[in-house]
Amino acid sequence: MNINFDELAAFYERLEATPGRLEMIDILAELFGKIDTSEIEMVCYLTLGKLGDGPSELTLGLAEKLVIQTLAEQYGMSESEVEKLLAEHGDLGVVAEQTISKKTQSTLFDFFEDDESSPSSFSITSLWSLLLKLAHTTGTGSTGTKQSLLTNLLIDSSPLESRYIVRIVLGKLRLGVREMTLLEALALHYTGDRKNKSLLERAYNFISDIGKVASILVNDGFEAIQKITPSPGTPIRCMAAQRADSAFEILNKLGGKAALEIKYDGLRIQAHITPSGVILYSRNHEDLTPQFPDIVSSLQKASQVSNAIVEGEILAYDFENDTFLPFQNLMRRRRKTEIDEMMKKFPAKIYLFDALLIDDLSVVDLSLPDRRKLLENSFHENESLAFSELLYISSEDELNDFFMQAVKDGCEGIMAKSITPSSIYEAGVRGWNWIKYKADYVGSLTDTFDLTIIGAYSGKGKRTGTIGALLCASYNEDEDVYQSFCKLGTGFSDEDLKELTDILEPLKVKEKPNNVMSGIDPDNWVRPKIVVEVAAAEISKSPTHMTAWNGTSGLALRFPRFTGRIRTDKSADQSTSLSEILLMYEAKRRAV
């Protein structure tokens, strides 16, 4: 059956009012039982507040100011009146909902009357069609056209529909639903078993598009889901590493032997090589190909195969002195202009460390040693391309020697990787097949954490006009929520504060997002999206922070400090996880 958008909006209202993840999954499973198979992709994307997923995701590009102007004209109000209501409610969706009774203009059906594919009612398909038109409207005069499209979209909207339409076009849907929640709901409804979420997640990790996963499931069946493998041109969700703070713990986890690699302070890249060219994806699936033409050229020269997906680390490099340069130099290469000048000023080199596909054959289920052999047999080193340094060891002394030399050479630390037959590439998984061991974890030095910003505090004194501090969270993978972990107020330069103020402004929301847990309230809540690197002296118990909350206390960072790095290469769900934090906390307790 097909449902109209008013019915979908009613489900969204229920989801918005539901704090529990299991209850959300039940509501989503019920929703999937109401929609037609032709709507499954659209519903999945819309429920995440997106137009597509992965590299194919479209952006609407509607600024809050434009929506305010549209609402003012639509409802016969002044912009200042709309802004006053926004200040009161903190949500333009609610503003639209409460003033919808004033609409007087033509209908959405009239807008489509000359279109042969016009919808006969306000369906999900018609909403999707208009949103796509909004996303594809660019260039001279696009602002007026977008405003007209939004006006026509709101004309036939009910109050509830208007709430969610406005939120969708602003990128602020606020349902608290994420990909893992949707996957579990898909498993529950279409396979009858929540446990099948793990197989859907594996497919999602290979194709990075939840709409496509859902479409394959409902149209081709569960067997087709299990046959999904890596494909050139489709970014794969990167495998992640756990942490350990001693050679003994590492070898204990890895069965007494391991492959050791340098942990470079660079930019992790997934390179997709085909006869038609090379695409470089960041860990967050951003296409970085235009920024690194030198690396693209090196990969093309080095490749001995037609198709491949390989992973490596790009580093800023001083070729004259044969040394690494600071990470900040590499970030200059992220500029989208003056590429040739930046390439000459900040040269780069890539160190390949893994293979996921070679000559159209998926190799993710092979052991690490077998994947490494295929990698080295499929590429030749050249001036701007090398293989990561690799050493197979079976003793703590060997591991410690390699580690100390890496630190002495100015590297972050080392990676220790399993070499057993089960050392497969686990896309999208943070498991014990890979372990990172950094200088930060040793002795009395500080740990570093990649944390998601969930709130901001207004600056005072010399910080007036910018944010003064941040509320940061860890990521609870099991519950798919962000839990407060520290209030961060030191380590910022004036430039950092200004940049973060600009970045966070469009992400501010009046109420705490559904997927956020915090025992303290910041001046402004922020949708969990931006990740920052934080150093701290130790992890301690807290009566207010919600990481590892047991009913009476949680865990928090002691003396947190911003390191200066905004992790644009990481999405929020790739921030430091609850499981990592618990491991570090227990390790420190045992060491005392």
Q: What residues are annotated to the active site?
A: 263
DSSP label of 474: E
| Mutual angle of helices 210-220 and 179-191, in 10-degree steps | 0
Identity of the residue numbered 31: L
Instruction: Identify the sign of the CA torsion 213, 374, 258, 283.
Output: negative
User: Cα(376)–Cα(363) distance, rounded to whole angstroms?
Assistant: 14
Reference 432, options 411, 452, 417, 421; nearest CA is: 417
Six-digit token pair at 271? 């390179």
- Is 427:239 a contact under the CB 8 Å cutoff? yes
- Of the CA atoms within 13 Å of residue 198, those in its CB half-sphere come to 4
Q: State which H helix or E strand residue 101 sits in.
A: none
- Is 413:437 a contact under the CB 8 Å cutoff? yes
Residue 261, Cβ neighbours under 10 Å: how many? 23
User: Cα(388)–Cα(368) distance, rounded to whole angstroms?
Assistant: 13
Find the radius of gyration of the CA atoms of the chain.
Answer: 25
Reference 410, options 438, 387, 441, 449; nearest CA is: 438
Six-digit token pair at 164? 């969610």
End-to-end CA distance of the chain: 62
- For 140-154, give one letter per residue: b (16+ CB within 10 A) or e: eeeeeebbebbbbbb
Q: State which H helix or E strand residue 308 sits in.
A: strand 308-318
User: Cα(278)–Cα(29) distance, rounded to whole angstroms?
Assistant: 40
Label residue 203 exposed, middle or buried (CB < 10 Å: 0-12, 13-18, 19+). Answer: buried
User: Cα(10)–Cα(365) distance, rounded to whole angstroms?
Assistant: 43
Instruction: Identify the sign of the CA torsion 354, 360, 362, 366.
Output: negative
User: Which H, E and C letters describe 80-99, residue by residue?
Assistant: HHHHHHHHHHCCHHHHHHHH
- Is 103:75 a contact under the CB 8 Å cutoff? yes
Write the DSSP assignment of 312-335 as a string of letters: EEEEEEETTTTEE--HHHHHGGG-
3-state helix, strand, coil in the chain (%, to 5): 45, 25, 35
